Structure 1
Amino acid sequence: MVRVALLSNPRSTGNRSLLPRVRSFCAGHPEIFHYEVESIEQIDAALRTIARVRPRVLVINGGDGTVQSTLTALYHGDQFDGAPPPVAVLPNGKTNLIALDLGATGDPIDALERVLELAKSGPLDDHIVTRELIALTQEKDGVADGLKPVLGMFLGGAGLTDVLLYCRHKIYPLGLPNWLSHFLTLLALLATMVLGIRAAFLPQRPAPVNVSLIRQGEIQGRFAVLIVTTLRKLLIGSRLAAGQPHSGALQLMAVEQNPMALLRAIVAGLFGKLGGSILAGVHLGRGDEIHIAGDRSSVILDGEIFSPGRGGAIVLRQTDPLPFLRLAA
């Protein structure tokens, strides 16, 4: 009997070294149905095949783009003729924010073994959590582009987009360990945002953007950090905004391009106090629809960049919740 379906993308960076171990583990555990795709365009067909074996858990093994493409396909595809099985994500990416939120940390094989253990042990109710997704569409002069929304769980914008692209294009190619790459990116961030240093080898200065929380007002300015997420846990270990139970699943944080505002946000995050009190220059909010506009208002949703261009806007809406498998107790 198949307990776990594992969807792997061999082309993701992390799988270059991990995939042989994954294949070996699956070969010794017939309860796992392992499906490998050659490109993300094959994910919908892969899910339809996986649905036939009726797994108790669907595990995604790939980078941020693979996770995003799988969640998008799940939401739009109805491959499982109803509610899909709970989704687990192996910690196999550069940032691993979704895996971290679901309690999957450390060695990916250990996480896969834990998923299999839960799938074989009985009811999964105590380990199932629901998460809304961010549905991203684009508008031009107030008219929607007509494309299906792209789904994800973590969006970065403003100066954060510039920093993430800087890390992707300038730091990751150096082949350094993830922790060192992120540390060097943090130093570059501090140099530009705190010390005000401008150089060709550092991230560029953030452009002005307009952020609207529908029915709750808007904020404008240059922001060092702009985050929208439905995750409960971030790398800094804080919730962005507790809000009211029915105030919306989209959590927003915008930190002005101001050294003291950035410092306040970092300190509050490190001590788990972000969202617990009002901080000058730090804007927190929560809603079910957010618009982001500006001449340079590119955003990154789970690793994929979206650039609406002049006169365009990014529109974010929350979806209905999907079930996920949380590995931590």
Structure 2
Amino acid sequence: MASVALLSNPRSTGNRSLLPQVREFCAAHPDIFHYEVEDVGQIGEAIRTIAMVNPSVVAINGGDGTVQAALTELHSGGHFDGSPPPVAVLPNGKTNLIALDLGAEGDPIKALQRVLDLVHSGELQEHVIERQLIALDNDGGRPVLGMFLGGAYLADVMLYCRNRIYPLGLPNGVSHILAAILGLFAIIFGLGGGRLPPKPEPMTVSLVRQGEFKGKFSLLIVTTLEKLLLSIKTSESHGTNGHMKLLATDSNVGALFRMLGATWRGTLGQKPLNGVHFQQGDEIRIEGKRSNVILDGEIFEAKNGRPIILTSTQPVPFLRLAA
């Protein structure tokens, strides 16, 4: 039995320079079973093979899209007898939202060494935490599992950052802040297109959770992470139980600034804010003529008569790498 199974996606941004070091580290530690994929379409076969070696931990070396595909196979593919082992996410890729939420940041090699140390020390279970996953279904097939979904104008800004700012070669953090500033500028002044994010066109959505509310939103986030975006964290009473959290902001500048002010003070979710919807639930339905959403880097679209349905899974184990 391998102590750790490591799944690497060489096409993830960080792996373009890091992968030789990862291979060297694995060669020096024979209790690591290292499986590399050339694209996410091979992850199903990778997880099937990993299940055969029965590892204590599955570590994922890739971006959020790689993590999403791996989680879907781990918990929906039926490859393991019983429950899959806990998942450790190395800090790699562009956004690293999932890795950061699980306490992994900095050098991926050091994070991998931390995983090995926890396995060998016998303290592994003390660092296992549980999170529910978001199960997305919009075509009736097998749901796709993930942990962070962005929609409405936020999805447009995320795509703008991916397609227009990342190619500039700026550090990831700088790229994210620059995209957020330009998106906010476009909302305030009603501009867009060209070198700016597209002109804000908030979509109409319907969200069902023990009732329903409708509106046009400039921001839509659904997540099971503690940190929502750009290290923003909800209040402690709403941010630590791993359930699906919904944040929707009406498409006006006042509501957006009230939301930003609450997140700056760390009070988001403590009390109602006009134009800011913050709830938790086990099922969320998204409908509209232009209802594109991004779940951990993958784009999905709700079409007329075929909504996007989000449900929460049973809690699944992850490995928190923070001391």
TM-score bracket, normalised by the shorter chain, equals: over 0.9
1: distance between equivalents of 2:232 and 2:293? 22
2: distance between equivalents of 1:244 and 1:229? 10
Match of residue 163, structure 2, among 154, 165, 169: 169
Question: 1:131 offset after TM fit, Å?
Answer: 0.9
Cα gap change, 1:258/1:38 in structure 2, threshold over 3 Å: closer, same or farther?
A: same
Whether the 8 Å CA contact 2:202–2:218 is kept in 1: the answer is no
Q: Tell me, yes or no, if structure 1 residue 151 matches structure 2 residue 145.
A: yes
Whether the 8 Å CA contact 2:226–2:240 is kept in 1: the answer is no
Q: Which moved more, 1:257-266 or 1:85-94?
A: 257-266
2:273 corresponds in structure 1 to 279
Whether the 8 Å CA contact 1:4–1:55 is kept in 2: the answer is yes
Q: Which amino acid aligns with 1:124?
A: L
Q: Which amino acid aligns with 2:222?
A: V
Match of residue 219, structure 2, among 216, 225, 240: 225
1:208 corresponds in structure 2 to 203
Cα gap change, 1:242/1:311 in structure 2, threshold over 3 Å: closer, same or farther?
A: farther
Q: What does residue range 1-16 of structure 1 map to in structure 2 within 5 Å?
A: 2-16=2-16
Q: Which amino acid aligns with 1:149?
A: P
Question: 1:48 offset after TM fit, Å?
Answer: 2.0
Q: Tell me, yes or no, if structure 1 residue 107 matches structure 2 residue 104.
A: no
Percent identical across equivalent pairs?
58
Q: Which moved more, 1:293-302 or 1:225-234?
A: 225-234
Q: Which amino acid aligns with 2:210?
A: R
1: distance between equivalents of 2:141 and 2:13? 28
Q: What does residue range 12-161 of structure 1 map to in structure 2 within 5 Å?
A: 12-138=12-138, 145-161=139-155
1:35-60 CA-partner distances (Å, limit 9, x unpaired): 11122222122122212222111100
Unaligned runs of 5+ in 2: none
Question: 1:212 offset after TM fit, Å?
Answer: 1.6
2: distance between equivalents of 1:241 and 1:290? 22
2: distance between equivalents of 1:236 and 1:104? 13
Question: 1:219 offset after TM fit, Å?
Answer: 2.7
Using the size of structure 2 for normalisation, the TM-score is 0.93
Cα gap change, 1:190/1:88 in structure 2, threshold over 3 Å: closer, same or farther?
A: same
Whether the 8 Å CA contact 2:14–2:93 is kept in 1: the answer is yes
Match of residue 259, structure 2, among 265, 271, 274: 265
Whether the 8 Å CA contact 1:6–1:32 is kept in 2: the answer is yes
Whether the 8 Å CA contact 1:158–1:226 is kept in 2: the answer is yes
SS in 2 for 1:225: strand
Question: 1:257 offset after TM fit, Å?
Answer: 1.8
SS in 2 for 1:212: strand
Superposition RMSD in Å: 2.0
1: distance between equivalents of 2:238 and 2:267? 14
1: distance between equivalents of 2:192 and 2:49? 52
Using the size of structure 1 for normalisation, the TM-score is 0.92
Cα gap change, 1:198/1:255 in structure 2, threshold over 3 Å: closer, same or farther?
A: same
Q: Tell me, yes or no, if structure 1 residue 236 matches structure 2 residue 216.
A: no
1: distance between equivalents of 2:187 and 2:47? 43
2:189 corresponds in structure 1 to 195
Whether the 8 Å CA contact 1:57–1:85 is kept in 2: the answer is yes
Cα gap change, 1:199/1:42 in structure 2, threshold over 3 Å: closer, same or farther?
A: closer
2: distance between equivalents of 1:177 and 1:111? 20
Q: Which moved more, 1:233-242 or 1:30-39?
A: 233-242
Q: Tell me, yes or no, if structure 1 residue 181 matches structure 2 residue 175.
A: yes
Q: Which moved more, 1:200-209 or 1:313-322?
A: 200-209
1:178-218 CA-partner distances (Å, limit 9, x unpaired): 12211220221121123333343222313322232232322
Whether the 8 Å CA contact 2:283–2:309 is kept in 1: the answer is yes
Question: 1:92 offset after TM fit, Å?
Answer: 0.5
Q: Which moved more, 1:266-275 or 1:71-80?
A: 266-275
Whether the 8 Å CA contact 1:229–1:252 is kept in 2: the answer is yes
Question: 1:312 offset after TM fit, Å?
Answer: 3.1
Q: Which moved more, 1:109-118 or 1:42-51?
A: 42-51
Q: What does residue range 309-320 of structure 1 map to in structure 2 within 5 Å?
A: 309-320=303-314
Number of equivalent positions:
321
Whether the 8 Å CA contact 1:133–1:321 is kept in 2: the answer is yes
Whether the 8 Å CA contact 1:207–1:297 is kept in 2: the answer is no
Whether the 8 Å CA contact 1:241–1:252 is kept in 2: the answer is no
Q: Which amino acid aligns with 1:263?
A: F
